[in-house]
Amino acid sequence: MKKVFSYALPYKWIALAAFLFMLLELSVDLIQPLIMAQIINEGIMQNDLAAVQLWGGVLVGVSLIGFLFGILNSYFSSHAAQSFSFELRNALFEKIQRFTMAHYTKFPAASLITRLTNDVTQVQNVFFMCLRIMLRAPLYVVGSLIMMLFIDAKLTFYFLIVTPIAVVFLWVVVRRGTKLFGKVQGRVDRLNRVLQENLQAIRLVKAYLRGQYEASRFEEIAGSLKIDTTKALRIMEILLPVLWLFLNGALLAVLWFGTQQVQQGSTEVGDLVAIINYATRMTAMFSMFAFIISAFARAYASAKRIEEVLDVKGDIESFEASPVIQEQPLALRFDNVSFTYDDVSEPVLHDVSFTAQPREKIAIIGATGSGKTTLLSLVPKFYNATAGQIFVNDKPITAWSNSDLRAHMGIVLQQSILFTGTIADNIRWGDKAASDEDVEAAAKRAQIHESIMSFPDGYQTRVGQKGVNLSGGQKQRIAIARALIRQPQLLILDDSTSALDVKTEQALWEAIDGQQTTMLVVTQKISTAQRMDKILVMEDGRIIAQGTHEQLHENVPLYQKIYESQQQGGITA
């Protein structure tokens, strides 16, 4: 937990102020039973009303001071805890942004969401409790024992016997509870993953009438979470009754022997009341430990999960504020490039070699699973080649920083992803400095301007989460506009026109042809591939042929097969 709590260091003075006010509040609480003893011994037992008024006034004044210290402690504790969680959550999110694509395989989205939200909240709560009550409880127990020894060492002995037993029992429960709550957080990950998948695919679920199946699946995961949570809480539930058994036994012993000492005249009534007061408060503090231990066990498990992310090393991407921009279209060269995913034994790409000259437009075509998207993923360094080399402008791609490289690129993924906001915001996402005129110009080139203007709010139309209120073709064209507004030196389109009709797609390509850019286009359509300067044909992770449409149609059986199937299916070339 050391690394996690290091993010509280910028607020150490605020935390120190909270700690000092906690000590002052604690001191006041420890004094109060002594004042009560004086009221009884010097006032009530002596029938001295003046003493009662004097010490009663002192008690009221001290209580008000303690109340003020408590408020100040809560204020500074809350401020420190909120600031700490702010720093931790931001650091965690920034680390996630620096992940390479390979890291997202190890840490699924649902798991990262849980760590950013639930786990950080658990740690934040314990940090607040530490400043407010977690340190106060043991200090109060120690302070009470000292005060009790000062009043009557003999009666204090009964609590001195019980305290070590209670501490050992607490330690055993902490160790067991920590393991169980770690398992609970893993179950929360699974629950979030199932929920996220269901909500993302809700249309598909409804279309295939899988609502009942998904409900049963969710119920199964939620049931596992319930079982593990119950096991963890059951351990914690044992804690309180056992503590009460020990402490109440000690309290009864104090009452029994204390009464005898009062009758014998060796102890004053006020002193016995003070000891009982301390003992009762100690019992309450030990009871509070049950709650504290439960929270600590959860927080410890959460802190370890957070540190798993913070401790990720290896290929971590960096952020450069000012990437170096070159005006000329990029040249690209693959030399015997192979690639294997971390969790797969067989290579996905085998000895891939090709060249893209500046302004050259290259289509990549092949069956599903032939490695087209993986090939594109190597160009912006989402992944690094396992073997071989990639050159950009005759410079090894490994010598390019991620920001310099990607600043030259416009990328449209296979799945058009839009963000909550306006249509203009989504297009401007490609270039935050773009003017309204730039946004409109990019939309016109992407053939989406007229559709946007048909909406009542035009470019200020709100986009639902993931573009739920837009058609597939509209989302694709907005995503293309987002890439074009960057005026990229290399444009990457991964099957990004699949939802467009023939007329719209033709107009789109005519507009894009005017772009001074190198292009890599994954497509399933021969009609699209024909427009390109060169076509790469892929099969089983290899480029089996490359050339123009005429060359491939004449000499490559796989290309001929794709062409003929589209002709028979009514897709014109």
Average pLDDT over residues 489-505: 87
- Which residues on adjacent β-strands are paired with residue 492? 411, 520
Q: What range defines the domain where residue 439 resides?
A: 332-568
Rounded Cα distance between 92 and 302, Å, is: 13
Provide the pLDDT confidence category of residue 374 given band limits of 50, 70 and 90.
very high
Provide the pLDDT confidence category of residue 392 given band limits of 50, 70 and 90.
very high
Q: How many residues does the chain have?
A: 573
Three-state DSSP class for 128? Answer: helix
Residue 200 pLDDT greater than 70, yes or no: no
Rounded Cα distance between 352 and 337, Å, is: 5
Residue 326 lies in a domain: no
> DSSP state, 151?
H
Number of structural domains the chain divides into: 2
- Angle formed at CA 226 by CA 221 and CA 231, multiple of 5 degrees: 130
Provide the pLDDT confidence category of residue 295 given band limits of 50, 70 and 90.
confident
Do 218 and 360 lie in one domain? The reply is no
Instruction: List all residues 6 or more positions away from 213 whose beta carbon is below 8 Å from its beta carbon.
Output: none
Residue 39 lies in a domain: yes
Environment class of 355 (CB within 10 Å of its CB; exposed 0-12, middle 13-18, buried 19+): middle
Percent of all residues in the chain with a pLDDT value above 90, rounded to a whole number: 29
Residue 465 pLDDT greater than 80, yes or no: no
Contact 367, 561 (CB under 8 A): no
Do 492 and 445 lie in one domain? The reply is yes
- In this structure, the number of other CB atoms found within 10 A of the CB of residue 50 comes to 9
Do 279 and 340 lie in one domain? The reply is no
Name residue 200's amino acid: Q
Residue 382 lies in a domain: yes
Q: What is the pLDDT of residues 108-143, one digit of tens each?
A: 777 888 888 888 998 998 899 888 887 787 888 888
Rounded Cα distance between 309 and 92, Å, is: 7
- Of 275, 309, 343, the residue at which a domain comes to its end is 309
Instruction: Return the pLDDT at 321.
Output: 47
For strands 421-422 and 462-463, give the pairing. antiparallel
CATH classification at residue 432: 3.40.50.300
Do 305 and 336 lie in one domain? The reply is no
Instruction: Return the pLDDT at 314.
Output: 59
Provide the pLDDT confidence category of residue 87 given band limits of 50, 70 and 90.
very high
Alpha carbon of 20 to those of 65, 77, 78, 288: distances in Å? 14, 11, 14, 21
Instruction: Return the pLDDT at 315.
Output: 58
Do 128 and 253 lie in one domain? The reply is yes
Q: What is the pLDDT of residues 6-48, one digit of tens each?
A: 889 999 999 999 999 989 988 888 888 888 777 777 777 777 7
Q: What is the pTM of this model?
A: 0.70
Instruction: List all residues 6 or more positions away from 86 whose beta carbon is below 8 Å from its beta carbon.
Output: none
Rounded Cα distance between 338 and 349, Å, is: 5
Q: What is the mean pLDDT of the chain?
A: 84
- Of 244, 275, 309, the residue at which a domain comes to its end is 309
Instruction: Return the pLDDT at 428.
Output: 92
Do 115 and 256 lie in one domain? The reply is yes
Do 426 and 524 lie in one domain? The reply is yes
Residue 540 lies in a domain: yes
Q: Which stretches of 259-348 are assigned E, i.e. beta strand? A: 332-339
Do 230 and 358 lie in one domain? The reply is no
Q: Out of 275-279, 349-353, 449-453, which region has the weakest mean confidence (pLDDT)?
A: 275-279
Q: Where is pLDDT greater, at 110 or 65?
A: 65
CATH classification at residue 27: 1.20.1560.10
Do 96 and 206 lie in one domain? The reply is yes
- Angle formed at CA 570 by CA 567 and CA 572, multiple of 5 degrees: 65
Q: Out of 2-11, 57-66, 279-288, which region has the weakest mean confidence (pLDDT)?
A: 279-288
Name residue 455's amino acid: F
Do 205 and 256 lie in one domain? The reply is yes
Do 262 and 360 lie in one domain? The reply is no
Average pLDDT over residues 466-471: 79
Q: What is the pLDDT of residues 139-194, one digit of tens each?
A: 888 888 888 888 888 777 777 777 777 777 777 776 777 677 777 877 877 887 78
Residue 314 lies in a domain: no
Rounded Cα distance between 19 and 74, Å, is: 10
Residue 318 lies in a domain: no
**Nearest residue to 571 via CA among 520, 528, 509, 519:** 528
Torsion angle, CA of 98/103/106/111, rounded to 10 degrees? 20
Instruction: Return the pLDDT at 219.
Output: 86
Name residue 127's amino acid: F
Residue 527 lies in a domain: yes
Instruction: Return the pLDDT at 208.
Output: 62
Do 39 and 186 lie in one domain? The reply is yes
Residue 154 lies in a domain: yes
